[in-house]
Amino acid sequence: MGAGEDAGPVTLRALPAVHELAGALEAPHPLAVAAARAAIEEQRVAMLAGAAPAGEIDLVPRARELLAELARPSLRGVINATGVILHTNLGRAPLAAGAREAVARAAEGYSNLELDLESGERGSRHAHVEGLLCELTGAEAAVVVNNGAAAVLLAAAALAGPGRAIVVARGQLVEIGGGFRIPEVIAQSGARLIEVGTTNRTRLGDYQRALQAHDDVGAIMRVHQSNFRTVGFVEDVPVEALCGLGVPVIDDIGSGWLAGQPGTIVGRMVGDEEPLITAAVAAGAALVCCSGDKLLGGPQAGLMAGRRDAVAAARRHPLARAMRIDKLSLAALEATLRLYRDPERAQREIPVLSMLTADEETLAARADRLAVAIGERAHVTRAVAKVGGGTLPLLELEGPVVTLDADPGTVARALRHGDPPVIARIYDGRVLLDPRTLTDAEVEPLAGAVRSALAGG
């Protein structure tokens, strides 16, 4: 007789009733019932599989564990020890302290989100950041939507849309991530796609011939290769030359590299790898689109800056309301943009920029402190961190890391299940804890989590 047959109906009668087990739990009735059902079902399956003893068993402790899991928020803070600064799975850019405070203020009560306090009449939510964006980028006007992909879609729909065409170089028909592909975005805007050039080489003449052959071109779209690079026998057309063709240009620059940064340490690190918002605006692009939660270091948002007529077209398009930014993101974005008035301060206070520019001495001290706090199974060595988030794919940030003497899969799993959860990196058969993506305040909690994970393993 098999295990499943051995644990028959008579054995299963030993399981408590749902209402009895729920009554033993101190929790709101719906939560108690859910935890009780889960505990009973878990035990029933184990008994039928022969993996649990027959007869009565006290399910109250397990039900309490399940109750704690049900009561715990699904969206939780984690410690990022991966060394990937813009980790998409972990929410990309952590916010500056000023941005977090701004979010708390906006969430506390009512706000003047769409109210002009001077006149008492209805205002625009975009007014809270448009002036800052124009000041920082040199644009005539600006508008903000809920993410970078929305910005590109809205730009395509507003400047071209049904019945018109958009010209794009073949080498720029990229997939940014999560299935977000430029040809599909253009299709969703209602515009027709005209491809020019080849995968590796596109010249100004290719665009000129397309414009001569088609009289329905609404815009030229230029797309930055955010998460990869084409090297070798390549040629591209700069945005300045495209803007001279007499057709509106949409420049999707990706990561949100702001003016005022080139002279700073982080500016020298990035160099020419990421296009500047200010350069595209100065070149005459109708709309420059980028994300708010990448190199900009702010919340998820899609920034659109450029010519007054193009921004007005985007604002009045029906999609603009569906893509509008919420008040909490808007508060965080305004606070982040204000920091950029002082580039040195931005580098110090915006976490993404400070992580990019963290010096060897700071990282080594943090790694040593972490290793000592963990104990003899931790060792300081060296590895390479990455920017992540489809940004600066070729930039490697070498520095000290802490490695652990333990089975990597077991320890990484235990760290994820801890409180707070810790996300580590497994490389070359070892668990790596990278101090670049840690704050000094996270070192002790991380060390405690690692000690518990090693003990459990």
Confidence of residue 431 (pLDDT cuts 50, 70, 90): very high
Confidence of residue 3 (pLDDT cuts 50, 70, 90): very low
In the numeric block, which tokens belong to residue 329?
């993101």
pTM for the full predicted model:
0.90
Question: Which residues, 6 or more positions from 49, have their beta carbon under 8 angstroms from its beta carbon?
Answer: 3, 4
In the chain, where are the structural domains located? 9-71, 79-88+354-456, 97-349
Confidence of residue 231 (pLDDT cuts 50, 70, 90): confident
Are 93 and 330 contacting, i.e. CB atoms less than 8 angstroms apart? no
The confidence score (pLDDT) of residue 230 equals 79
Average pLDDT over residues 410-423: 94
Stated as kind and residue range, the H or E segment containing 306 is: strand 302-306
Fold of 79-88+354-456: Aspartate Aminotransferase, domain 1 (3.90.1150)
Confidence of residue 55 (pLDDT cuts 50, 70, 90): low
CA distance 244 to 132: 27
Residue tagged 């719906």 (tokens)? 30
Q: What pairs with residue 115 in β-bridges?
A: 122
Tens of pLDDT along 160-171? 999 999 999 999
Residue 178 has pLDDT above 70, yes or no: no
89 phi/psi in degrees, rounded to 5? -70, -20
The confidence score (pLDDT) of residue 54 equals 62
Are 331 and 102 contacting, i.e. CB atoms less than 8 angstroms apart? yes
The confidence score (pLDDT) of residue 229 equals 75
pLDDT over 70 for what percent of the chain?
A: 93
pLDDT over 90 for what percent of the chain?
A: 79
For the chain, the average pLDDT equals 91
Are 81 and 438 contacting, i.e. CB atoms less than 8 angstroms apart? yes
Q: What pairs with residue 403 in β-bridges?
A: 379, 432
Q: State the pairing for strand pair 141-145/302-306.
A: antiparallel
The confidence score (pLDDT) of residue 5 equals 44
Average pLDDT over residues 352-359: 93
- Decide: helix, strand or coil at residue 385: strand
In the numeric block, which tokens belong to residue 415?
């760290």
Fold match between 79-88+354-456 and 97-349? no
**Residues shown for the chain:** 457
- The helix-helix angle for 127-137 and 327-339 (nearest 10°) equals 30
Fold of 97-349: Aspartate Aminotransferase; domain 2 (3.40.640)
The confidence score (pLDDT) of residue 457 equals 52
Stated as kind and residue range, the H or E segment containing 319 is: helix 319-322
The confidence score (pLDDT) of residue 276 equals 87
Identify which of 331, 308, 332 has the alpha carbon closest to the alpha carbon of residue 143.
Answer: 308
Tens of pLDDT along 252-295? 998 888 856 556 666 666 766 788 899 999 999 999 999 999 99
Tens of pLDDT along 94-114? 999 999 999 999 999 999 999
Are 277 and 290 contacting, i.e. CB atoms less than 8 angstroms apart? yes
